[in-house]
Amino acid sequence: MQIKIKTPAKINLTLEILGKRTDGFHEIKSIMQMINLYDYLTFDIQENTKTEINLSGNTDKIPYNEKNIVFKAIQAFIKAANIGPHKYNVYIEKNIPTEAGLAGGSSNAVGTLLVFNQYFNNILNSDELSKICATLGSDLNVILMGGCVLAEGRGELVKKLPFVEYPVSLIKPNLGISAKEGYKKYSELKIKPNKNYTEKVIELLKLKKDIRKYICNDLEEGVYNFYTELQNIKHANPNSIMTGSGSTYFVLENKINRVEDYWFAENLKTIPNGCEIVNLY
């Protein structure tokens, strides 16, 4: 049986860092919003004499082995659900840039869990899926919930927020910034930002009023001065904000001022849901 799912990118409407935790992670308060930029994953699942996981795809930017988070999600699901041996072939069509702050990999992993749960007759409940997500990464539970989500803790504590449709445009230099680097550079800031904009944005979302004045990202302040590539984006688009640990910036507009040789996507929009199965065949 084959199943195809589309897995969306996310942007951080706010990302505020409240401090360092005892487990080494940072305590955050962030509003994350899904947008209609998708990767597509096609699964071919067959009974087999042993467990086989075969990944392939359309880009050389990601590994197709046990280092891929899709591979890890499959292993985690098999263990949690006590599934017998099967052969899993997965084709990953990447449209979401990697190392971009758009949670493409996390979204792929959530889509994988949802496909497997459907294929195996919803063997895991929502709490069990949520626990797997929390072990795989900090923002997977956000993707699992979908739409507009308040994320707290290290990102795994989630709450649904009112959805408001906004236009979205993205721009990204040929540069990847890991979350580890982003948080390290933030930690080295002598003066930390303290805007408390997340609560303001939540109130404006409830009232369906314009949030653009209050979108923010504390991590941007940590990495911005180290990369002329980011400065080029900001000079061309003063109202743009970095998403996640970067290096993608976004504006809540239909168009963005382009920078030569930078990847961009325009005329996107925020969406009220998350991963969606598009085909069973």
CATH number for 23: 3.30.230.10
Higher pLDDT, 19 or 13: 13
pLDDT at residue 74, rounded to an integer: 98
Whether 10 is catalytic is yes
Kindly name the residue from 6, 139, 172, 185 that is annotated as catalytic. Answer: 139
- Please report, to the nearest 10 degrees, the dihedral formed by the alpha carbons of residues 26, 202, 272, 140 taken in order: 10
pLDDT at residue 179, rounded to an integer: 86
pLDDT at residue 152, rounded to an integer: 95
182: enclosing H helix or E strand? helix 179-187
Say yes or no: 84 and 178 in one domain. Answer: no
pLDDT at residue 194, rounded to an integer: 85
Kindly name the residue from 4, 6, 10, 72 that is annotated as catalytic. Answer: 10
Kindly report, residue by residue over 45-56, the tens digit of the pLDDT: 999 999 999 999
279: in domain = no
Say yes or no: 179 and 220 in one domain. Answer: yes
Say yes or no: 144 and 117 in one domain. Answer: yes
77: containing domain: 2-162
Confidence class of residue 4 from pLDDT cuts 50, 70 and 90? very high
Whether 139 is catalytic is yes
pLDDT at residue 41, rounded to an integer: 98
pLDDT mean across residues, the chain: 95
- Pick from 140, 162, 184: which residue ends a domain? 162
Say yes or no: 88 and 188 in one domain. Answer: no
User: Contact at 8 Å (CB) between 7 and 95?
Assistant: no
pLDDT at 281 > cutoff 80: no
Domain count along the chain = 2
Nearest to 139 by CA among 127, 126, 152: 152
Confidence class of residue 221 from pLDDT cuts 50, 70 and 90? very high
Say yes or no: 146 and 35 in one domain. Answer: yes
Confidence class of residue 279 from pLDDT cuts 50, 70 and 90? confident
219: in domain = yes
Say yes or no: 198 and 110 in one domain. Answer: no
pLDDT at 42 > cutoff 80: yes
